[in-house]
């Protein structure tokens, strides 16, 4: 028996098709109980014109001679047996593929004789039997119930025989070839959460590779399936895994947008760290807060004079002096680059405002340094998401200034990454439990369905 094809929606089987009926005109007397006759006798006696209602391409075996058998008993009962290979249609519902159960029918009946002329009845003892155990590559044969039925065709009723081969698909192939690789690819995409946010190319390459691998795998799984208008259970699982891989890329975009500052490639030397730390101490000093709450302003272009400017602006105790920037050496071009990079990052904490002249034409660029402490950003999550979607530059600059106020020049592990390390695996595990329980726990008990007469005539 088999194979069963989802692409062509059919199945094939080899069978010994036996029919028996009684014709009293052929009864005889004698010592012999049963006569075995040549198949040429079939041309001279009446026989039913049985055909397969849902057959597609069936044929009789003729090697080495036509595989037919004819026997007549004394009471006129006739046994007619032929060996056939039957290919029949089987409409499969693949919504639960590959955890589906299928019922493939075989319907037999007379082509021209109505129910008033010929009635087909299954043999109670030998209706449908199998030679040995049936081994199929993709299915397990659960049962093969059969019944007598009738079909309305051309305003007449015809007696038919129906047998249903109930199958359960084996899932081992799909677990090995699809499910396990998809799960491993999703787990591989989570590796990016443990990579530093400075490794932009590594994280993006990993995310794109997993997405492309899943796309190739998804196309391969649809090769042997018909182009149905609905999504199968396998398609839903691939959609879920594809979504998680895409979410990993979007997650890094969020990390890059909200928390990453600069290129992350210029690292601080010990002297630059001291410089930045002392600048932050001066900024956070409450002694620089004017009594009337005004924002103190000053115009300066030489950052090395900052240590001398700030004590004059503040009326508190002396502020620690800021060491000069280490001079660059012939072999220290990288050091000088690092210094300028850090100073550029420090400038992000200074707000540049444009004030119109009294004439309204020219613009004064004055540097304002806020000496009051920064307050926590109480923006809602939806508001932050809105700023992200519209690429609000002022919100991004505000996030950078807050990070610099904490002294976070060298990028470290993002809180988004820390949350994602737990959130992604937990939600993926929960979705898998719901997915497998939802499909496996379904009731797939077989029930007979009303024969659709429109499918035959």
Whether the pLDDT of residue 178 is over 90: the answer is yes
Q: What is the mean pLDDT of residues 195-206?
A: 86
**Portion of the chain with pLDDT greater than 90, in percent:** 42
- pLDDT of 366 reads 37
DSSP string, 212-258: HHHHHHHHHHTTTS---SS--HHHHHHHHHHHHHHHHHHHHHHHHHH
In this predicted structure, the answer to whether residue 353 has a pLDDT above a threshold of 50 is no
Give the pLDDT of residue 344.
53
Give the mean pLDDT of 162-173.
93
Between 187 and 414, whose confidence is greater?
A: 187
pLDDT of residue 444: 77
Q: Find the largest Cα–Cα distance for the chain.
A: 138
Summarised one tens digit per residue, pLDDT across range 95-149 is: 999 999 999 999 999 999 999 999 999 998 888 998 888 888 889 999 999 999 9
pLDDT of 234 higher than 50: yes
- Interacting residues of 344 by C-beta distance below 8 A, sequence separation 6+: none
What confidence score (pLDDT) does residue 365 get?
37
The CA distance from 62 to 12, in Å, is: 18
Read off the pLDDT of each residue in 359-374 and give the average, rounded to a whole number.
39
30 close to 1: Cβ distance less than 8 angstroms: no
Question: And the tokens for 136?
Answer: 């199929």
Average pLDDT on 19-38 reads 90
> What integer pLDDT is reported at residue 201 of this predicted model?
87
pLDDT at 38 over 80: yes
Cα–Cα dist 259/411, whole Å: 8
Residue with tokens 């890059």: 256
Tokens 């639960």 sit at which residue? 96
Q: Which 8-state DSSP code applies to residue 380?
A: -
The more confidently predicted of residues 3 and 184 is 184
Rounded CA separation 211/189 (Å): 9
> Per residue in 146-155, pLDDT tens?
999 999 887 8
pLDDT band at 385 (very low <50, low <70, confident <90, very high): confident
Measure CA of the first residue to CA of the last residue in the chain; give whole Å. Answer: 28
Residue 283 has pLDDT above 80, yes or no: no
Residue closest to 388 by CA, chosen among 263, 258, 204, 244: 258
Residue 289 has pLDDT above 80, yes or no: no
pLDDT level of residue 370 (50, 70, 90 thresholds): very low
Top-confidence residue, 407 or 442:
442
Rounded-to-integer distance, Cα 188 and Cα 167, Å: 36
Distances (CA, A) of 398 to 198, 278, 311, 349, 377: 20, 21, 26, 9, 9
Cα distance between residue 35 and residue 290, in whole Å: 124
Helix (H, G, I), strand (E, B) or coil at 370: coil
**Higher-pLDDT residue of 294, 443:** 443
Mean pLDDT of the chain: 77
Chain segment 201-230, per-residue pLDDT in tens? 889 999 999 999 999 988 888 887 888 889
Whether the per-residue pLDDT at 313 is higher than 60: the answer is: no
Q: What is the pLDDT of residue 412?
A: 62
pLDDT at residue 405, as a whole number: 65
Q: Is the peptide bond before 214 cis (omega within 30 degrees of 0)?
A: no
The answer, yes or no, to whether residue 87 has pLDDT greater than 90, is yes
Rounded to 5 degrees, φ, ψ at 403 are: -65, -40
Per residue in 252-263, pLDDT (tens digit) is 988 888 776 554
């Amino acid at each position: 028996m088999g194979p069963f094809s989802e692409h062509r929606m059919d199945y094939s089987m080899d069978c010994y098709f036996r029919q028996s009926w009684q014709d009293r005109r052929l009864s005889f007397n004698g010592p012999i109980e049963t006569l075995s006759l040549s198949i040429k006798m079939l041309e001279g006696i009446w026989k039913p014109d049985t055909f397969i209602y849902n057959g597609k391409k069936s044929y009789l075996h003729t090697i080495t001679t036509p595989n037919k058998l004819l026997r007549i008993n004394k009471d006129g009962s006739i046994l007619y047996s032929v060996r056939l290979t039957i290919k029949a249609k089987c409409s499969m519902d693949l919504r639960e593929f590959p955890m589906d159960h299928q019922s493939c029918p075989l319907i037999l009946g007379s082509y021209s004789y109505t129910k008033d002329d010929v009635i087909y009845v299954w043999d109670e003892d030998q209706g449908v039997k199998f030679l040995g155990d049936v081994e199929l590559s993709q299915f397990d044969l659960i049962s093969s119930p059969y019944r007598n039925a009738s079909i309305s065709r051309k305003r007449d009723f015809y007696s038919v025989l129906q047998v249903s081969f109930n199958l359960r698909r084996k899932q081992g192939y799909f677990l090995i070839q699809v499910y396990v690789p998809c799960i491993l690819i999703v787990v591989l995409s989570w590796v990016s959460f443990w990579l530093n946010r400075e490794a932009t190319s590594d994280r993006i390459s990993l995310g794109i590779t997993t997405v492309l691998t899943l796309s190739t795998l998804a196309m391969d799984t649809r090769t042997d399936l018909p182009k149905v208008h609905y999504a199968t259970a396998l398609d839903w699982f691939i959609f879920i895994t594809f979504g998680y891989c895409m979410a990993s890329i979007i997650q890094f975009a969020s990390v890059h947008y909200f928390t990453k500052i600069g290129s992350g490639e210029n690292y601080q030397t010990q002297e630059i760290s001291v410089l930045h730390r002392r600048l932050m101490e001066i900024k956070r000093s409450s002694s620089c807060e004017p009594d009337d709450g005004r924002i103190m302003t000053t115009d300066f272009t030489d950052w090395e004079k900052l240590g001398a400017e700030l004590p004059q602006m503040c009326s508190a105790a002396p502020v620690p002096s800021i060491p000069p920037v280490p001079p660059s050496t012939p072999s220290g071009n990288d050091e000088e680059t690092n210094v300028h990079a850090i100073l550029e990052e420090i400038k992000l904490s200074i707000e540049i405002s444009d004030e119109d002249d009294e004439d309204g034409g020219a613009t004064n660029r004055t540097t304002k340094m806020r000496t009051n402490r920064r307050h926590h950003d109480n923006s809602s999550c939806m508001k932050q998401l809105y700023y992200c979607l519209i690429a609000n530059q002022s919100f991004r600059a505000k996030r950078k200034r807050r990070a610099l106020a904490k002294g976070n020049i060298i990028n470290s592990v993002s809180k988004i990454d820390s949350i994602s390390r737990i959130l992604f695996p937990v939600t993926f595990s929960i979705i898998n439990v719901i997915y497998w329980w939802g499909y496996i726990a379904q009731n797939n008990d077989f029930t007979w369905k009303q024969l659709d007469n429109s499918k035959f005539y």
